[in-house]
Amino acid sequence: MFVAVYPPVPSQSLIGALLAAGHHPVPVESPADAAKKAPEHGWPAAVVEVGDDLGLALTMAAKLGSDHGVRVLLVTDRTRTADLADRDEFEDFVLTPIDSVELGIRLRRLGAAQADQDGDEVVRHRDLELNTATYQATVAGAPRDLTYMEYELLRFFAQNPGRVWSREQILSRVWGYDYFGGSRTVDVHVRRLRAKLGEERSSWISTVRSVGYRFG
């Protein structure tokens, strides 16, 4: 899932841990920047890395929560834990050095809690079901093994049926504001999705010549 990350130049260890956990970090420099870069359905979670200024990190965490309703995971070192005992600007925290498995588990729980709060856990299209809390996909009750980005692309399509999207629009909305890959990335993932949906359902994703794709 896409995760807002503050500060705008996070540590390489944090970026590496997020990528290893299967998440897509999007650095933000302010609450306004977070709003500008937010995915279509909002941030499922945010990570705030504590630097030299604990107060600034907590202020940013609080603003992300109050302005965007985002659940925040704080990243800090063990020397700060006493200062965090009575603070409520964040939902959870992890200690450095970061364990990518722990980071992934905690972020998934925050994302699931956000989905519960939003009340929109399951996306359906015909006999397709996508559980946005668990990232499980089923077709006619049978599970489909999708990569993270295949899942995100299918969810985008299922939530926006009938409309034609250009490859550039899909790249921006699914891969994120700061993604610089080419349009061939979309074609490759569409081909894989069609194969995983199966012959009977591959036609759900139709190619619109010289434009892009339509789902439905």
CA neighbor of 50 nearest in space, from 96, 3, 85: 96
C-alpha atoms less than 13 angstroms from C-alpha of 62 in its C-beta half-sphere:
9
**CA–CA separation, 134 and 87 (whole Å):** 29
Domain limits, the chain = 2-118, 122-215
Strand runs (DSSP E) across 70-110, as ranges?
Answer: 72-76, 92-95
> What's residue 112's pLDDT?
56
Please determine whether the domains at 2-118 and 122-215 fall in the same fold group of CATH.
Answer: no
Domain 2-118 has CATH 2.60.200.20: no
φ, ψ for residue 213, nearest 5 deg:
-135, 155
- Distance from the Cα of residue 109 to its chain's centroid: 13
Strands 46-49 and 142-144: unpaired
> What's residue 115's pLDDT?
54
φ, ψ for residue 27, nearest 5 deg:
-65, 140
> What's residue 39's pLDDT?
78
**pLDDT tens series, the chain, 216 aa:** 789 999 999 999 999 999 988 888 999 999 999 988 887 777 889 999 999 999 999 999 999 988 778 889 999 999 998 999 889 899 999 999 999 989 988 888 887 555 555 545 788 899 999 988 778 899 988 999 988 889 989 999 998 899 999 998 888 778 764 555 667 889 999 999 999 999 999 999 999 998 999 998
Architecture of domain 122-215: Orthogonal Bundle (1.10)
Handedness of CA 24, 73, 29, 42 (dihedral sign): positive
pTM: 0.57
